[in-house]
Chain A
């Protein structure tokens, strides 16, 4: 369990990135920070592994104030997946994944063996293990980044827009992969994105942030979608634009789902599982008619 207690971060230049932020992130659940650019998402995330120290307030992990812990040890116990994958360019894929276990004193051989297994876990072919990061595609690099984040079997996994740099198809694939992993491994995941669809797909708890690190709304995707706290939230989740209010239209060839903007959102599939996120699920199959 991660707890933020009235955390404020003011950078030396006076920018207040996070303002009096309090939140409990439950264990074994995925919490997603979502918000526009500059709303303090990355800053919040990096405060959890002490890459950024709060100006005031405190953060507890399982009841221990992390301000009292050694930052290097803390970081080795937390998985961190960066937007740009952050792999070391001069180390092979397998050695990149094995880096942190080796820092923690594991033998090279054992660390490499486990790294190979992790490549399986994230769905990467073992033949890529001996390549260098620059020889991989962006999506493959992201997967290596995830494998590295999982390498020490951390309880906490921080992910900062990990799928920001890949195309929509690979992105959807990686999202599903993460859902599967999360189902299997049950980590406490803190995920940052500016894509509300991604937030609703992955998050058990979604935190919508506005500029200055202020919370606009916290809740499950269903709660937020059904009861947006204010105009900012409803604009952000797209309810106002009618993006999520779908209706059926007949386009000659058959019935299609159309959103409030008249954009083709998808098709109605009879008998498919209708969860609380059917709306965003359907839009994933949609295409832009223009």
Chain B
């Protein structure tokens, strides 16, 4: 309890709002780092995931390698990369991209796979080209699961980005490492609270987005709608994402 009060005090101490170690600056660094990592990971994982989801090829390879990547301890990888390419931000970017790719990849291809095959067959049969099928049918219908993948990637990256401070003077992790060194537990706990708050904020943002991107026509058919005739249970996105992740883990 005492620690907690001290941490709160640390959080509001004006001294922590100036200079190179100011809380807003660290917050901005941490968020910026998270966003850039997610963008890099998305640039790799989304096209690949769409390709796997659309063609149905390479799925087992993706599942297996995603599982292997997940098994790599991020701190170990970070140390290894830092040792080979040197101290600085490049090492954490690489290590955390490796962390973020698997969930995004899984979200991208499970999103496509969850679409009724007959819908895609119909789109092809009326004369959509493969590119049009991807853009006009698979992406809009698969988007909720992709956002789900981004959501879990963001959560992992925000939490693990504290490790960036291990090899660079960067981000909220600074408070943890510095506090640990000087036994300043108020600073450590304060830093952790900031990380948690940022994680919660991102989580909320993604949860909202995820709801927002479910196509209205799909929502309209859900039993929660005014048309309550169908009592057939339909999978909700979260469970499908979990299923996708289960697959990733189990295979």
Residues of B within 8 A of A46 (CB): 125
Taken residue by residue from 60 to 103, chain A's Cβ proximity to chain B (1 for < 8 Å, 0 otherwise) reads as 00000000000011111100101010111111100000011001
* Interface status of A132 (Cβ within 8 A of chain B): yes
* Interface status of B141 (Cβ within 8 A of chain A): yes
**Shortest distance between the CB of B248 and any CB in chain A (Å):** 27
Taken residue by residue from 162 to 175, chain B's Cβ proximity to chain A (1 for < 8 Å, 0 otherwise) reads as 00000000000000
Residues of A within 8 A of B121 (CB): 51, 86
**Shortest distance between the CB of B219 and any CB in chain A (Å):** 9
Q: How far is the CA of A135 from the CA of B122 in the complex (A)?
A: 19
A-B contact count (CB 8 A): 76
Q: Is the CB of A73 within 8 A of B221?
A: no
* Interface status of B85 (Cβ within 8 A of chain A): no
**Shortest distance between the CB of B60 and any CB in chain A (Å):** 19
Q: Is the CB of A80 within 8 A of B125?
A: yes
**Shortest distance between the CB of B30 and any CB in chain A (Å):** 36
CB proximity to A under 8 Å, residues B112-129 = 116, 118-119, 121-129
**Shortest distance between the CB of B240 and any CB in chain A (Å):** 16
Residues of A within 8 A of B227 (CB): 135
Residues of B within 8 A of A73 (CB): 127
Instruction: Kindly identify which residue among A80, A89, A135 contacts B141, using a CB–CB cutoff of 8 Å.
Output: A89
Q: How far is the CA of A76 from the CA of B116 in the complex (A)?
A: 22
**Shortest distance between the CB of B235 and any CB in chain A (Å):** 14
* A133 nearest CB neighbor, chain B only: B217
Taken residue by residue from 217 to 229, chain B's Cβ proximity to chain A (1 for < 8 Å, 0 otherwise) reads as 1101100000100
CB proximity to B under 8 Å, residues A108-149 = 131-135, 148
**Shortest distance between the CB of B57 and any CB in chain A (Å):** 15
A89-B141, A90-B140, A90-B141 are known contacts. Are A82 and B125 too (CB-CB below 8 A)?
A: yes
Q: Is the CB of B220 within 8 A of A99?
A: no
A82-B122, A86-B121 are known contacts. Are A91 and B217 too (CB-CB below 8 A)?
A: yes
* Interface status of A30 (Cβ within 8 A of chain B): no
Residues of A within 8 A of B216 (CB): 90, 132
Residues of A within 8 A of B217 (CB): 88-92, 132-134
* Interface status of B237 (Cβ within 8 A of chain A): no
A72-B129, A103-B128 are known contacts. Are A132 and B221 too (CB-CB below 8 A)?
A: yes
Q: Is the CB of B127 within 8 A of A88?
A: no
Q: Is the CB of A89 within 8 A of B125?
A: no
Q: How far is the CA of A90 from the CA of B216 in the complex (A)?
A: 6
* Interface status of B32 (Cβ within 8 A of chain A): no
Q: Is the CB of B122 within 8 A of A86?
A: yes
Residues of A within 8 A of B118 (CB): 82, 84, 86
* Interface status of B132 (Cβ within 8 A of chain A): yes
Q: Is the CB of A89 within 8 A of B127?
A: no
Q: Is the CB of B126 within 8 A of A134?
A: no
* B137 nearest CB neighbor, chain A only: A88
Q: Is the CB of A87 within 8 A of B122?
A: yes
Q: Is the CB of B127 within 8 A of A75?
A: yes
* B128 nearest CB neighbor, chain A only: A103
Q: Is the CB of A89 within 8 A of B221?
A: yes
A91-B217, A132-B221, A134-B217 are known contacts. Are A76 and B119 too (CB-CB below 8 A)?
A: no
* Interface status of A39 (Cβ within 8 A of chain B): no
Taken residue by residue from 218 to 230, chain A's Cβ proximity to chain B (1 for < 8 Å, 0 otherwise) reads as 0000000000000
* Interface status of B58 (Cβ within 8 A of chain A): no
Residues of B within 8 A of A77 (CB): 127
* Interface status of A193 (Cβ within 8 A of chain B): no
* Interface status of B47 (Cβ within 8 A of chain A): no
Q: How far is the CA of A134 from the CA of B137 in the complex (A)?
A: 16
Instruction: Kindly identify which residue among B116, B126, B136, B215 contacts A80, using a CB–CB cutoff of 8 Å.
Output: B126
A82-B122, A132-B221, A134-B221 are known contacts. Are A89 and B215 too (CB-CB below 8 A)?
A: yes
Q: Is the CB of B218 within 8 A of A134?
A: yes
Chain B interface residues (CB < 8 Å from chain A): 116, 118-119, 121-129, 132, 136-137, 140-141, 215-218, 220-221, 227
